[in-house]
Homo-oligomer: A and B are copies of this chain.
Amino acid sequence: MAITVVGSVAYDSVETPAGKYERQLAGAATYFSLAASYFTDVRVIAVVGEDFGHEQEAIFKAHKIDIQGIERAAGKTFFWQGSYMENLNEAKTHQTDLNVFAGFQPKIPDAYRDSEFLFLANIDPLLQRRVREAMPHVKLVAGDTMNYWIKDHRPALLEVLAGLDILLINDTETRMLAGKNNLVLAARQVLSLGPKTLVVKHGEYGATAFFAPDITKGDSATAIRAFRAPALPLDEVVDPTGAGDSFAGGFFGYLASQRDITPGAFRRAMFYGGVMGSFAVERFGTERLQHLDRKEIDSRFNLFRELTHLE
């Protein structure tokens, strides 16, 4: 089933201990849609400037990603410059030019309206909410956010959370959103804000899904169930940019490819999230995500299984 994703399509300039690159196609919606495209049909809603051309379009088209929802506006595409020279786990931002993104008003093409899955990548929660409300019939909606929205746009963010099936954020964001340091207590607090499932991304330590108690199945109101997926121990992280968005794309893409979202399908989706995140960081930018095939992906999935399973 098709996924519609709304988020940023951008140019990044990035420096890491392994090297650097200038103005390459990036952005959360780009990483997400490339990762998800190996599993299902993906449709993108975003805005770009006049500097977005055939070369960039071709990257999406090579993965059969629908980009009729990528609007061309007068001006330049969103630009981010950052580095990871001291700490591969945390980007240092040197420059952020919102450009055309500052006036982004998501428009949903008619052809996207039968999408059954919706992913709200990390953008202004007011826009996330608007897209969510414009697509009331989706079967499953997941989203991301970041410290900036949690700190300074809380009321708007809370309205988004109330409408989410799955929230995917990292450890720091979970603790900040809940105002609690213990991760389980923080997760319980976040789940009380609306999401039925919280996926906490731990970077090199993998990710944990926390499920809201299902009182119809006899869970107590404070019960919490969880599932932990590993990350692959890598001897070189070339570029951590987009790892979280690639996780989300692998995770949600796999879920959307399944007829029913069983507990088993959900667990496999967590593994595929880790798999796509591990590919993303092996090369600069989106390079590795552009050139994969399903066989490589499934072979790495099996590696994740061997890494964690008793037999």
**Given A233-B184, A235-B182, A235-B184, are A309 and B310 neighbors across the interface (CB < 8 Å)?**
yes
Residues in B neighbouring A187, C-beta threshold 8 A: 233
Q: Are A235 and B188 in contact (CB under 8 A)?
A: yes
Interface positions of A from 144 to 186, Cβ below 8 Å from B? 182-185
Q: Which of A206, A208, A235, A311 has the most CB of B within 10 A?
A: A235
Q: A91 near B: Cβ within 8 Å?
A: no
Residue of B nearest to A222 (CB): B235
Interface residues of chain A: helix, strand, loop or mixed (majority) = mixed
Considering only residues 186-202 of chain A, those with a C-beta below 8 Å from chain B are 187-188, 202
Query: Please, what's the 1-or-0 string for A270-311, where 1 marks a CB less than 8 Å from any CB in chain B?
Result: 010000000000000000000000000000000001011111
Chain A interfacial residues counted at CB < 8 A? 33
The count of identical subunits is 2
Closest residue on chain B to residue A311 by CB atoms: B264
Nearest B-chain residue to A309, judged by Cβ? B309
Q: Which residue on B lies nearest to A200, using beta carbons? A: B233
Decide yes or no whether A230 CB sits under 8 A from chain B.
yes
**A21 CB–B CB distance under 8 Å:** no
Q: Which A residues contact B (CB, under 8 angstroms)?
A: 182-185, 187-188, 202, 204-206, 208, 210, 224, 226-230, 233-237, 264, 267-268, 271, 305, 307-311
What are 19 A-B contacts defined by CB distance under 8 Å?
Answer: A182-B235, A182-B236, A182-B237, A183-B204, A185-B236, A210-B233, A226-B233, A226-B307, A227-B307, A228-B230, A228-B307, A229-B308, A264-B310, A264-B311, A267-B310, A308-B308, A308-B309, A309-B309, A309-B310
